[in-house]
Amino acid sequence: MRLETLAVHAGSRIDPATGAVAMPIYLSTTFERAADGSYPRGYIYTRLGNPNREALEEATAALEGGAVAMAFASGSAAAFAVLQALIPGAHVLAPKDLYHGLARMFREIATAWGLSVSFVDMADPSAVESAIRPETRLIWVETPSNPMLRITDIAQIAALAHRAGAFCICDNTLATPILQRPLALGADGVVHSATKYMGGHSDAIGGIVVLKEETPFARRMREIQTTGGAILPPFESWLILRGLQTLPYRMRAHCENAMRVAAFLAQHPAVEAVPYPGLPGHPGHAVAARQMSMFGGLVSFQVRGGQEAAFQVAERTRLFIRATSFGGPESFIEHRASIEGPGSSTPGNLLRLAIGLEHPEDLIEDLDQALRALL
Ligand SMILES: *Cc1c(COP(=O)(O)O)cnc(C)c1O
């Protein structure tokens, strides 16, 4: 089945009790036992398993083409569970341009319990190869990366990981399975912040891990999910599954709009650079064109005149909301260096646009009037 069809049907079921087409939300924390002590309907206690969470897990496993999926309380909790499944002493290779919350987790928390982490330029396979150590167990990929939109060749990095006996896990939040399917390219697992495009309406926080195969590592991760307890609640599971049904069509619109905004910015005299992978001048354009079906809904750009000028532009937009996050119908503008805080390597003149579902010409007009003030 094709992605659009899977998105509508995978995981959803007609309610056996009432025939309801939209799945009910099973808020119950606990489920009845039979007289003989068994659980004939398969559910015991919601931390261990819940119909809404299972439906979402089934749908994301189908969309990513994986054997198992686990839904967590946030994208961060999902990423955290992957680190928790590693044995102390293991070495992790992570990209230099990495979502800042995960960079912090890798640096501050993972190292405190005995993992070692090195940060490398994942767009440079020879740098990755020379950073691999005998104890390397995980290579973490994020492509496109946030916020610099760097592109990593997933197939190439996965092959390096496997030669070293390590897993390759890809944060697929920016692309979603609609634009990019890392498991088919050789990755062993995918992590999502479902808070973004999957949920798609800026109203639910969640995270997903999808693993290609049912391995001992997958069983350990399932144990971390259900015993560790950072599970996705039923209501959020329901909201995110509902978001998935329209994901293919929303992604198409986000990407088409983003492409038009990026092309507009690239020729604007107040703009210094537009690192959008859909533009032919982007260093990762060829790899992105090969491994993605479209180039994503985030557009970063650097304005002439430094941080001061960037703040002025963010202050002057009327349609773009000044807020963090992305993936909802509304467009956001954000000065990343100031939200990432000290230690951020994001340029001070960079603004990140989360392109929403408005008409692209309205977005372009808004940016044009905000940028004109700099000329
Ligand atoms: C937002 C984000 C996360 C973290 O997800 P939360 O749901 O906010 O915990 C991880 N990776 C990427 C690429 C993100 O954009």
Query: Which ligand 1 atom lies nearest to the CA of residue 78?
Result: 9
Give per-residue pLDDT as tens, 265-308.
999 999 999 999 999 999 999 999 999 999 999 999 999 999 99
Domain ranges of the chain: 3-245, 248-372
Give per-residue pLDDT as tens, 111-133.
998 999 999 999 999 999 999 99
Nearest protein CA to atom 8 of ligand 1, as residue: 75
Q: Which pLDDT belongs to residue 373?
A: 84
pLDDT surpasses 90 at 66: yes
Q: Which pLDDT belongs to residue 340?
A: 85
Which CATH number applies to 3-245? 3.40.640.10
Residue 36 a catalytic site member: no
Residue 33 three-state SS: coil
Indicate which residue of 53, 97, 153, 171 is catalytic. Answer: 171
pTM here? 0.97
Q: 71 alpha carbon to ligand 1 midpoint, in Å?
A: 14
Residue 212 a catalytic site member: no
Q: Which pLDDT belongs to residue 345?
A: 86
102 secondary structure, DSSP code: H
Report d(CA 108, CA 191) in Å as an integer: 20
Q: Residue 342: pLDDT band by 50, 70, 90 thresholds?
A: confident
Residue 99 a catalytic site member: yes
Indicate which residue of 53, 196, 212, 336 is catalytic. Answer: 196
Which CATH number applies to 248-372? 3.90.1150.10
Q: Which residues have C-beta atoms less than 6 Å from ligand 1?
A: 74-76, 99, 101-102, 142, 146, 171, 173-174, 193, 195-196, 205, 207
Q: What is the overall mean pLDDT for the chain?
A: 97
Q: 328 alpha carbon to ligand 1 midpoint, in Å?
A: 14
Give per-residue pLDDT as tens, 28-40.
999 999 999 999 9
Q: Which of 317, 323, 121 is nearest to 202 (CA)?
A: 323
CB contact at 8 A, 15 and 245: no
CA angle in degrees (0–180, nearest 5) for 25-251-206: 40
pLDDT surpasses 90 at 343: no
- Phi then psi for residue 93, to 5 deg, are -105, 125
Q: 20 alpha carbon to ligand 1 midpoint, in Å?
A: 33
